[in-house]
């Protein structure tokens, strides 16, 4: 147990600032970034015995948590704006251009996910879009948690590569 604390301590001292900067670029607020970083370190702590590459796991977890925070933030904004639609009041927060770009990005992401193998797509969707834990996915699909981890890593690589090729 002491060696796990030492590992996490070393990881924290060597990666905390870089991780916070990385997450800050992904989310809209310093507070959200700090919450995401804390949650990522908590997940490392909870899963340290099953992780082969802690730094990679840390950054991947933080990226996924940041994406989840952005989705939550957007859905909250949408829910509160929905009350004003019957009044004909339009939000000044998001321009039509920004909305069009967001829709295009969503379509690209959907295309990237569609190119994944069926099992990889299922695992990725459960993890990223439905926020299931690796253990919950493994139980639901009857596979090992390591298999889930491998599918998520492969899906991230393949979707990033697809998006990189399409946005050049």
CA-based radius of gyration for the chain: 18
Cα 107 to Cα 80: distance, rounded to the nearest angstrom: 24
Domains and CATH numbers, the chain: 1-93 (1.10.1740), 96-168 (1.10.10.10)
Helix (H, G, I), strand (E, B) or coil at 14: helix
pLDDT in tens, the chain (168 residues): 567 778 888 888 888 888 889 899 888 788 888 999 899 888 888 888 888 888 888 889 999 998 888 887 665 554 444 444 454 555 556 678 777 777 887 788 888 888 889 998 888 888 887 888 889 999 988 999 999 999 999 988 998 888 888 876
Cα–Cα distances in angstroms (integers) from residue 75 to residues 24, 59, 82, in the given order: 20, 24, 10
Q: Are residues 125 and 153 in contact, defined by beta-carbon separation less than 8 angstroms? A: no
């Amino acid at each position: 147990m002491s060696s796990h604390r030492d590992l996490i301590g070393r990881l924290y001292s060597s990666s905390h600032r870089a991780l916070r900067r990385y997450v800050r670029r992904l989310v809209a607020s310093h507070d959200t970034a700090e919450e995401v970083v804390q949650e990522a370190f908590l997940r490392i702590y909870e899963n340290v015995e099953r992780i082969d590459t802690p730094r990679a796991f840390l950054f991947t977890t933080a990226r996924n948590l940041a994406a989840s925070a952005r989705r939550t933030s957007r859905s909250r904004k949408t829910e509160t704006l929905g009350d004003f639609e019957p009044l004909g009041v339009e939000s000044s927060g998001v321009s039509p251009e920004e909305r069009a770009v967001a829709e295009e990005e969503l379509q690209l992401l959907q295309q990237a996910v569609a190119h994944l193998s069926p099992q990889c797509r299922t695992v990725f969707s459960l993890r990223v879009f439905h926020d299931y834990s690796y253990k919950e996915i493994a139980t639901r699909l009857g596979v090992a948690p390591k298999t889930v981890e491998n599918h998520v890593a492969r899906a991230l690589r393949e979707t990033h590569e697809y998006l990189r090729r399409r946005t050049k």
